[in-house]
C-alpha cells in the first residue's frame, strides 16, 4: 500500500470517528482512538520516512491535553483536509481559562476578538521558572514595540539585552519612538526582517500582517539571527511572529538555538504546514525540547503559538 493510499484510508477512518461522535467534540477529544489516528496519520503524512519520524517526535513532545487538542485541530484542517469545527475545538481547549475569568460559556461568539491576545507569548505558567536574571530576548516582528514592553514586564526588568527586528519603515519608526517614550534601555532595534540568510526581499505593508510577497513593492533587507547575535551572548528567549517567514527564520537561527537552547515562542498559524514543519525543524535542531501549544484568539484560528521549552 502506498503512502497516498494509507493517508486516504486513515483519513476515512478519522471522518468515520468524527461522524460516530456526531461532531460532539468533548466526546471525540476524550476518545483514545482519536489520538491514535493522529499519530498514524503523522507516520505517513509525507513520502519521506525521516520527515515522518521527526513529525511523530514533535507530536510526542507535546506536554498536555490542551496542546494536543489544538495540534489535532490545526493538523486535520490544514494538512489532512478535514474541516474540523475549529471554534468549538478552541472553546473546548479554553474552557478552564474562561471559567477562571468568570465567563459564561453559553455563547463564545459574544467574546471580544482580543480576549486572549494579552496573554500571548509570556502567559504560559511553565515559562516563569525558566526566567533568569540575565535574559537576552530576540523579538522577531516588533510591529509597534508592545511585545518588547511585555517582555520587560515578564522578566521584571532583569535582562541584559533585547534584539528587536522590524523591517517595515513606518513600523520601525513607531517602535523606535515607543521604546524611547517608555524609557527602555539595552534595546537594539534592527530595521531588517529575519530569514535563513542575508538577502533583499519584497514586502507588502499590511500593518500587523505585513509579509514577504513576490509582488510586494517594498524592498526589505533580511538577515539570519546567527549573523547578528555574537557567539559570546547566551540568548534565552526567541519570539517569532513574522507572517509566514517563521520556518526560514528558524533556519537562520539554527546555530543560536543549538548553542543557547533558548525558550521559543513561535507562531504556528500563518501556513497550513507550519503545524508540522516548525515543530519538526526545532526537534531536528535540539530533540529535547518540550512543546506546548496555546491559542490566543477566541473567534478565529489566528494566534496559535508553539512554546518550546528546553528540558
User: What are the pLDDT digits (tens) for 132-179?
Assistant: 999 999 999 998 899 999 999 999 999 999 999 998 888 899 999 999
Q: Kindly provide the residue ranges of all beta strands, DSSP E only, lying in the chain, ordered along the sequence.
A: 135-140, 159-165, 187-190, 193-194, 199-204, 211-212, 218-223, 237-240, 263-267, 289-295, 304-310
Interstrand relation of 199-204 and 211-212 (parallel, antiparallel or unpaired): antiparallel
C-alpha cell at 93: 481547549
**CB atoms inside a 10 Å sphere around CB 206:** 12
Within its chain, how far is the Cα of 274 from the centroid?
Answer: 8
pTM: 0.90
Q: Which single residue is written with the C-alpha cell 493538523?
A: 75
Lowest mean pLDDT of 69-83, 121-135, 184-198, 202-216, name the range: 202-216
Cα 82 to Cα 30, 50, 235, 271, distances in angstroms? 19, 24, 39, 16
Lowest mean pLDDT of 90-104, 149-163, 183-197, 294-308, name the range: 90-104
Question: 3-state DSSP call for residue 218?
Answer: strand
- Give the chain's domains with CATH numbers: 3-110 (no CATH), 129-273 (3.40.50.150)
The predicted model gives 116-137 an average pLDDT of 85
pLDDT exceeding 90 applies to what percent of the chain?
63
The predicted model gives 108-125 an average pLDDT of 64
Amino acid at each position: 500500500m502506498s503512502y497516498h493510499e494509507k493517508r486516504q484510508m486513515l483519513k476515512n477512518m478519522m471522518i468515520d470517528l468524527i461522524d460516530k461522535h456526531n461532531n460532539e467534540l468533548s466526546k471525540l477529544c476524550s476518545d483514545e482512538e482519536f489520538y491514535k489516528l493522529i499519530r498514524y496519520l503523522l507516520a505517513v503524512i509525507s513520502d519521506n520516512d525521516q520527515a515522518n519520524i521527526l513529525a511523530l517526535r514533535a507530536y510526542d513532545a507535546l506536554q498536555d491535553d490542551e496542546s494536543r487538542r489544538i495540534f489535532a485541530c490545526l493538523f486535520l484542517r490544514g494538512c489532512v483536509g478535514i474541516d474540523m469545527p475549529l471554534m468549538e475545538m478552541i472553546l473546548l481547549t479554553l474552557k478552564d481559562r474562561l471559567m477562571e475569568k468568570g465567563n459564561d460559556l453559553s455563547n463564545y461568539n459574544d467574546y471580544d476578538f482580543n480576549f486572549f491576545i494579552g496573554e500571548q507569548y509570556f502567559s504560559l505558567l511553565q515559562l516563569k521558572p525558566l526566567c533568569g536574571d540575565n535574559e537576552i530576548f530576540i523579538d522577531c516582528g516588533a510591529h509597534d514595540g508592545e511585545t518588547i514592553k511585555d517582555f520587560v514586564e515578564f522578566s521584571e526588568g532583569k535582562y541584559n539585552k533585547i534584539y528587536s527586528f522590524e523591517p517595515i519603515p513606518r513600523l520601525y519608526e513607531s517602535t523606535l519612538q515607543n521604546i524611547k517614550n517608555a524609557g527602555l534601555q539595552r534595546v537594539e532595534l534592527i530595521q531588517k526582517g529575519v530569514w535563513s540568510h542575508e538577502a533583499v526581499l519584497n514586502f507588502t505593508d499590511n500593518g500587523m500582517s505585513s509579509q514577504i510577497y513576490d509582488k510586494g513593492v517594498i524592498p526589505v533587507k533580511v538577515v539570519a539571527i546567527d549573523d547578528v547575535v555574537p557567539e559570546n551572548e547566551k540568548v534565552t528567549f526567541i519570539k517569532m511572529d513574522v507572517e509566514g517567514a517563521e520556518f526560514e527564520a528558524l533556519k537562520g537561527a539554527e546555530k543560536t538555538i543549538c548553542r543557547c537552547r533558548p525558550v521559543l515562542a513561535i507562531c504556528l498559524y500563518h501556513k497550513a504546514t507550519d503545524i508540522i514543519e516548525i515543530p519538526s525543524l526545532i526537534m531536528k535542531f535540539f530533540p529535547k525540547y518540550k512543546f506546548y501549544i496555546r491559542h490566543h484568539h477566541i473567534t478565529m484560528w489566528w494566534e496559535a503559538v508553539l512554546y518550546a521549552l528546553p528540558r
